[in-house]
Amino acid sequence: MAILEKSFIGKVKGKLGDMVIYEAGGQIRVRMKPAGYTDRKSPKQLAHRAKVKGVSALYHEMDAQIVKYWKELTRGTAMNGYNLFLSRNVGNLDGEGKVVDYAKVVVCQGDLTVPSWAKAEEKTPGVLEVSWDKDAPGEYEYNDYLQMVVYCDWGKQEWGFEVDDFHGAQRQDGRAEWRFPEGVKGEVHVYGFFKGKYSEGISESFYFGRFEM
């Protein structure tokens, strides 16, 4: 962009070839007209757009508590919670914007130790027996609380990730019985994460499995 003195160009404004002349802040300015917009639609670009759109949909299905966790992680940085969520999950979507593997969805992220393994078995209808490695390597507190996350159709014409503040089990227990919340139906994906008893820290999410209700 060029800046011209008023005395040079007087009060002339408008277009001159590929240039646009206008006044701003008491100055006469000249800039080039933008080149024509080209909407690139190569298969690779379309696939990337679909992935980004799919991640955005996932993020907007997250419980407000989970969204808060992502925002806290980026406090004081140039990123925001959505961008961090995007970077962790965009590689797990296909060219149509659909999740490839629900076991690899990073629901939440944190610094507390993630168990080496976690599994669940439906012993009775609507009740899971969940277990995990209570002695996973790394630094952790034995009294970290287990939190559960359910992803399913909640009957609101949309899917969503909902947190169950399950304070019935601590890391040191290694196992617990957990009942599905009311309203759960159809295909259900269950995740867990640990939350510090005396701190705001959490672990990265881990996957318990897929179930039919």
Give the pLDDT of residue 9.
47
d(CA 72, CA 11): 52
Q: Which tens digit of pLDDT belongs to each residue from 113-137?
A: 999 999 999 989 889 999 999 987 7
Give the pLDDT of residue 141.
84
- 3-state SS string for 164-186: ECCCCCEHHHCEEEEECCCCCEE
The answer to whether the pTM exceeds 0.75 is: yes
Confidence of residue 169 (pLDDT cuts 50, 70, 90): very high
d(CA 23, CA 156): 53
- Residue 31 above 90 pLDDT? no
Give the pLDDT of residue 184.
82
- Residue 42 above 60 pLDDT? yes
H/E stretch holding 49: helix 43-60
Fill in the DSSP letter of residue 54: H
Give the pLDDT of residue 8.
46
Give the pLDDT of residue 168.
75
Averaged pLDDT, 141-147:
90
Averaged pLDDT, 32-47:
72
d(CA 172, CA 132): 10
Give the pLDDT of residue 182.
83
**Sequence letter at residue 137:** P
| More reliable by pLDDT, 207 or 200 | 207
**How confident is the prediction for the chain on average, in pLDDT?**
85
What's the distance, CA 101 to chain centroid? 15
- Residue 159 above 50 pLDDT? yes
d(CA 108, CA 205): 5
Averaged pLDDT, 2-27:
58
Candidate from 36-50, 80-94, 130-144 with smallest mean pLDDT: 36-50
Phi, psi (degrees; rounded to nearest 5) at 2: -105, 150
